[in-house]
Structure 1
């Protein structure tokens, strides 16, 4: 960490706890099935990824999900099922970010969508009495910038937009594809997996 001046964090699986299978289960309850492939890691319909880069609106996304349901779910039922994957953001991780801000420039780079953003920001702000986005020098959300990880362009955009030197920048993510993409353009990386966590990485900070 001696040469690091900037830290870019992923959100889900790094700062915020996620449970994607929970959303799959809730969707099935309202008649929306087969939305992920047999690996369980990729959506079968491109609208999920289009929504994540702001290519379709919330209304279009929700209406598409309602149209593929074998039942007749309400808009609220679809939103609640979609948000079911969002769990908690442990207060100790908020504390880590606050402590790191004293010595580093902190950024967020997240593949997310407007519905999820509203959900986690409102909950974090209410539970911690803070403004979530203010934890970071700048927060980059895929649906706002129109690019998603692991596209190298989103890393290049972040570096250029905030004038960051990749050699002085650490990227923390739980996706190995995202980690490799960041490494390819010279960014230092830390992969969150079953053995690693931000608590472990910053235990001495």
Structure 2
């Protein structure tokens, strides 16, 4: 029986356009990200470098001003439908499950969310734990991020369901014995959890 539900954030609650950032960068004649920039992206998601250092890495590589980089970086973020907030709020009020959020994200994206999603702080309070990769210095699908959550909350993997739209993330969790739902945002919605994964409940 599932006792703990672990949710991703992007394309689970917040709608994303994952190709948008690169489309924006292409406007500046950037056709491909060099390895040094790809590495900076990963370091930034782990909170290993500051926003300033992250922005400067793009500025030094491509000659872009911080505003242009930030706008391109945030183009991935579309909106946060309030009905999904209402879903998690109701689930939280029912207190039948421990609720954990586990997201690969970064400071610039969260600043956009805070500015553009008026119910974000209330959303955070719906969870028993709220883990953002840049705050805990861990990133999916690295195995240590799942170990961190399991150990911190003394969880049995077989009692947990992890919901994420990225297959490599759910595969890593599944390998540890955690139940998973690799949600397809083009045809599935988190609010249908108890219909789509009814066999677990």
Pick the TM interval, shorter chain: 0.7 to 0.9
101, 108, 124: which one aligns with 1:108: 101
Identify the residue that residue 118 of structure 1 maps to in structure 2: 111
What is the TM-score when the length of structure 2 is the normalising length? 0.87
SS across alignment from 2:113 = helix
Structure with the larger helix share: 2
Q: Are residues 84 and 51 of structure 1, via their aligned partners in 2, closer, same or farther at CA, if it must alter by over 3 Å?
A: same
Identify the residue that residue 139 of structure 1 maps to in structure 2: 130
Question: Cα distance, 1:44 vs. partner?
Answer: 6.2
Q: Is 2:149 the partner of 1:151?
A: no
Question: Cα distance, 1:7 vs. partner?
Answer: 0.6
1, 20, 23: which one aligns with 2:21: 23
Which aligned pairs between 1:175-190 and structure 2 lie closer than 5 A? Answer: 175-190=166-181
Q: Are residues 119 and 129 of structure 1, via their aligned partners in 2, closer, same or farther at CA, if it must alter by over 3 Å?
A: closer
Equivalents in 1 of 2:57, 2:147: separation in Å?
Answer: 32
Q: Deviations over 1:119-146 (max 9, x none)?
A: 113322x2x3753321211111111111
188, 194, 200: which one aligns with 1:196: 188
What is the TM-score when the length of structure 1 is the normalising length? 0.86
Whether the 8 Å contact between 2:143 and 2:172 is mirrored in structure 1 is: yes
Question: Cα distance, 1:165 vs. partner?
Answer: 2.2
Whether the 8 Å contact between 1:32 and 1:68 is mirrored in structure 2 is: no
Q: Deviations over 1:17-58 (max 9, x none)?
A: 111211112222245441289xxxxx9621110111111111
Unaligned runs of 5+ in 2: none
Q: Is 2:67 the partner of 1:67?
A: no
Where does structure 1 differ by over 6 angstroms across 4 or more consecutive aligned residues?
none
